[in-house]
Each structure stands twice: as C-alpha cells, then as structure tokens.
Amino acid sequence: MSAITEASQSSVLDVVRRALGRRNTLSPAPLEPFVEPVIRIEVRELVERFIDEATAVRAQVRRVPDNHKLVEKIVEISAAQPGEVAMSGAELFREIDLPGELAAHGLSTFIANQPDHEQLVATLANCSVGVTAADFAIAETGTIVLSSDEPNALLVSLLPPVHIALVRSEQMIGTIDEAIRKTGGEKVGRTDPTRSVTMVTGPSRTSDVELVLSIGVHGPKELHVIILE
C-alpha cells in the first residue's frame, strides 16, 4: 500500500511539473530562523499587572518594603485565625527567623519538616494558616508558582484554610511560558528540571455541583500574597 501511494504521488507531481514546464522539483528557499523578540517590562509594571489579575480572582495582595513589615503582615493575617501557623522549609523564613518572630507575637507555629507523612498531613489539616515562599509570580494571570524544591510547600499551601504566599518583586515574570522555561531547568544552580511545579491562581474554587461556584472546597478559602519589594 505504501509503494502504491508513493508511486501515485510521484505521478501527480510529474503532471504538475510538466504543466509548469519544469523537469525537476524546485527546493524552496530556507526560512530565516525565528527569534522571539525580547520585550523588556519594568518590574513595577509586572507587579501592578499581577496585583490587578490576582485581585480579580479573589486573592488578597499586599506590598511591603522590608522584612519588618513582612512579619507584621503575616502576624496581622494569622492573628485573625484560630490555630497554629504552619510554615514550609523556605530559606527566607530562616533568614528572618519567622518562627521566632511569630512566637514573639503570641502565635503558635509549626514547621512542616515532620518525617512521618501521615502525621504531617494530619497536623497540617488542623493548622489555620499555611505560609510558603513562591518561586515566581506570573503577572499575566495573577498566578503564583510553587516548586517541589521548597520542602512540603504544596502540603502547606493546600491543607490549612488560609494560604499566605511570599514573593520578592524580582521574582515577578510576565507569562506562563516564561514560568515553564524557568522551572524547566533555567533556575540558577540547577542542571536538571524541577521535579514538580504547582501554579496557584486565587483561592480554591470549584463549580462541580450544579455549576455553582464554591470557594475553599478542595483547598484554601483565602489566598494572601505578600510582595516584598
């Protein structure tokens, strides 16, 4: 069948060549390689776009100038919730001694580094707030990006009813395509792709039942994003 098809194709091409007065098939000129233009967008513009998009999907976004104000905002959000504040293993939290700062304000904390997975899940499910650091924030969709490089970030972001995500302004990027490139091996110090990546856009939502929008059914009912500038 393959030989018949190739012969038929050759016959048709011969007819076309004769009609054009040619004996040989002309090869098309090679196309110029496509180079995607680099569009430079100021960080300030990315932050403002991110805030607009994230707010549109019910995320609550705050901007802080320094670590002191960062801690104040986390305390402000967490103090309104009963129960423990869970934290992932982000390097930023160790730099600012977030557990100690929250304890100084009378908040009970839990660092999600327990080796027993089932016990970890049970403990996190009883926490009121989960605090993580984001790898990136995508301006065009108001999305935060969490990777498995940060220990237990996904569990901390999903199980407590309130999720606080911290992101530095220089971690703002424009598009999802850029996020995929960066988490696929471009991250500084990595030669292998990130094992897994989670993209979070607003609090958890579903319309599974009679197409009625419900918030917080399969994850946090509140998402707070704090941008450290």
CA-CA distance, 101 to 169, in Å (whole number)?
A: 22
What ranges do the domains of the chain cover?
43-228
Beta strand segments in 80-161, E: 85-87, 109-111, 129-133, 136-138, 143-147
Contact 144, 171 (CB under 8 A): no
CA-CA distance, 66 to 69, in Å (whole number)?
A: 6
pLDDT at 211: 47
Contact 124, 162 (CB under 8 A): no
What are the residues facing 133 on neighbouring strands? 166
pLDDT tens string, the chain, 229 residues long: the values are 445 566 677 778 778 878 877 777 667 788 777 666 656 779 999 999 999 999 999 999 999 999 999 999 999 999 999 999 999 989 999 999 999 999 999 999 999 988 899 999 999 999 999 999 999 999 999 999 998 887 789 899 999 999 999 999 999 999 998 998 888 755 545 555 556 888 999 886 555 555 444 544 556 899 999 999 9
Q: Does domain 43-228 have CATH number 3.40.50.10420?
A: yes
CB proximity list for 214: less than 8 A, separation 6 or greater: 205, 206, 207
Q: For residue range 73-93, list pLDDT tens digits in order.
A: 999 999 999 999 999 989 999
* Burial tier of 62 (Cβ tally within 10 Å: 0-12, 13-18, 19+): middle
